[in-house]
């Protein structure tokens, strides 16, 4: 199946020796015996994936925006790495009240989610049991892990044989554009993470739900709260509780985020100090797990010890953006810091990030290119 995929797929050993690449990958980057011989920055990213359980990065190669997704696996009891290269422009769409973008999240499998939390363990077991179902209603406040759960479901069902997209709808969507989306859902076998569907008129929602009921794709209708209107009975409902209802398991979630930040910053942090843990358990965590993840990333970056302490942390964030800005840096550096935070929050969607920043997309693109060159 991977041989006929339009996205590039490569399988290689720990030594970098290529065991398999499909025609799409060979056309993208030329066939080589070792990943070290591939052109930069692809060779560098593939080398970085060695020894890691997963990788998800975005880069530019040959003037194209490429999304790199990969995971480790054992082949004949030897570590191998399977990586997929997706050309973003083939899927990105932003027009007439509809945005379709490649989906990105740091947590990409059930094994990365905390199974020590009874409430989440029950949800994971339900999702695995219903893995063959096509359509889900995914409910949860911002930052509760909806994207991670959706991606884990996608990986459990499709692995790398199909793609996953984030779809954002607006009430201003044109009827013809909505019809195109319905046809896409019916024709695809991938996964769709759909937000903004509540803004549609009742008749438009009915048409969308009817298309979803016939689809073989895995579809998530995502909402921050339980919809007031009736929803079809074929929708499998999953609700993720806020962090305040899982606060006794904060330390378990923290370990997951610490492991991610350790890889990013080259640290060896093993946990949270008792004083910081007690302090964090009293916090509100308005943005739930995403806020905890951001706090831990900053703490790991600042830490010089094996346990995180209160001194390593920064102020609680507002609207997902850290209030603390290092004023010792240049204005240009502070501007880039803010831009990158907004781009990350918008799931690397440059159109929506540009709107939040109050600049046009070409200006944002140019600023990001300048940052890469620095």
The C-alpha atoms of residue 262 and residue 363 are separated, in whole angstroms, by: 33
Count other Cβ atoms within 10 Å, centred on residue 260.
17
Residues 78-82 have a mean pLDDT of 90
The C-alpha atoms of residue 112 and residue 106 are separated, in whole angstroms, by: 9
- Which residues, at least 6 apart from 293, have a Cβ–Cβ distance to it below 8 Å? 106, 257, 260
How high is the mean pLDDT of the chain?
84
- Whether the predicted pLDDT of 89 surpasses 70: no
| Conformation bin of residue 211: beta by default, left when phi > 0, alpha when psi is -120 to 50 | alpha
Per the model's pLDDT, the better-predicted residue between 81 and 338 turns out to be: 81
Residues 115-134 have a mean pLDDT of 87
The C-alpha atoms of residue 226 and residue 238 are separated, in whole angstroms, by: 10
pTM over 0.95? The answer is: no
| pLDDT per position as a tens digit, 249-260 | 999 999 989 988
- For residue 347, what pLDDT is reported? 66
Per the model's pLDDT, the better-predicted residue between 348 and 244 turns out to be: 244
| pLDDT per position as a tens digit, 3-45 | 777 788 999 999 999 999 998 899 888 899 999 999 988 999 9
The C-alpha atoms of residue 70 and residue 87 are separated, in whole angstroms, by: 15
- Whether the predicted pLDDT of 59 surpasses 70: yes
- Whether the predicted pLDDT of 374 surpasses 70: no
Q: Name the least confident of 105-109, 202-206, 319-323.
A: 319-323
- Which residues, at least 6 apart from 159, have a Cβ–Cβ distance to it below 8 Å? none
Residues 360-368 have a mean pLDDT of 79
Q: Name the phi and psi angles at 218, rounded to 5.
A: -90, 120
Q: Residues of 348-366 as b/e, b for ≥16 C-beta within 10 angstroms?
A: bbbbbbbeebeeeeeebee
Q: What angle do CA 370, 93, 206 make, to 5 degrees?
A: 145
| pLDDT per position as a tens digit, 213-242 | 988 899 999 999 888 767 888 889 999 999
Given pLDDT bands bounded at 50, 70 and 90, which one contains residue 316? very low
- For residue 317, what pLDDT is reported? 43
Residues 74-91 have a mean pLDDT of 81
- Which residues, at least 6 apart from 244, have a Cβ–Cβ distance to it below 8 Å? 284, 285
Residues 259-268 have a mean pLDDT of 86
Q: With pLDDT > 90 as the criterion, what percentage of the chain qualifies?
A: 33
- Whether the predicted pLDDT of 314 surpasses 60: no
């Amino acid at each position: 199946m991977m041989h006929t995929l339009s996205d590039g797929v490569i399988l290689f050993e720990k030594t970098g020796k290529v065991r398999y690449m499909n025609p799409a990958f060979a056309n993208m980057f030329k066939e080589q015996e070792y990943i070290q011989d591939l052109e930069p920055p692809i060779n560098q990213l593939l080398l970085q994936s060695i020894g890691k359980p997963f990788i998800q990065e975005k880069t530019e190669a040959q003037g194209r925006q490429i999304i790199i997704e990969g995971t480790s696996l054992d082949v004949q009891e030897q570590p191998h790495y399977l990586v997929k290269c997706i050309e973003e422009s083939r899927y990105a769409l932003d027009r007439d009240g509809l945005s379709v973008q490649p989906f990105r999240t740091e947590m990409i499998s059930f094994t990365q989610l905390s199974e020590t939390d009874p409430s989440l363990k029950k949800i994971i077991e339900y999702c695995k049991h219903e893995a063959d179902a096509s359509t889900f209603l995914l409910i949860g406040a911002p930052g509760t892990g909806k994207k991670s759960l959706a991606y884990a479901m996608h990986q459990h069902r499709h692995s790398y044989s199909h793609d996953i997209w984030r779809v954002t709808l607006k009430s201003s969507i044109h009827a013809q554009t909505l019809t195109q989306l319905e046809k896409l859902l019916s024709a695809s076998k991938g996964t769709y993470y759909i937000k903004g569907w509540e803004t549609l008129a009742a008749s438009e929602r009915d048409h969308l739900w009817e298309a979803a009921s016939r689809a073989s794709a895995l579809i998530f209708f995502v909402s921050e709260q339980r919809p007031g209107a009736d929803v079809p009975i074929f929708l499998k409902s999953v609700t993720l509780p806020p962090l305040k209802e899982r606060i006794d398991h904060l330390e378990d979630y923290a370990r997951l985020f610490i492991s991610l930040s350790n890889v990013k910053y080259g640290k060896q942090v093993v946990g949270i100090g008792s004083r910081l843990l007690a302090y964090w358990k009293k916090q509100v965590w308005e943005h739930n797990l995403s806020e905890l993840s951001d706090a831990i990333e900053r703490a790991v970056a600042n830490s010089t010890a094996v346990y995180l302490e209160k001194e390593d942390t920064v102020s609680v964030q507002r609207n997902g953006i850290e209030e603390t800005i290092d004023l010792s840096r240049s204005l240009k550096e502070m501007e880039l810091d803010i831009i990158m935070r907004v781009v990350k929050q918008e799931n690397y969607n440059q159109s929506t990030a540009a709107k939040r920043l109050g600049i046009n997309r070409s200006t944002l693109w140019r600023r990001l290119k300048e940052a890469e060159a620095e």
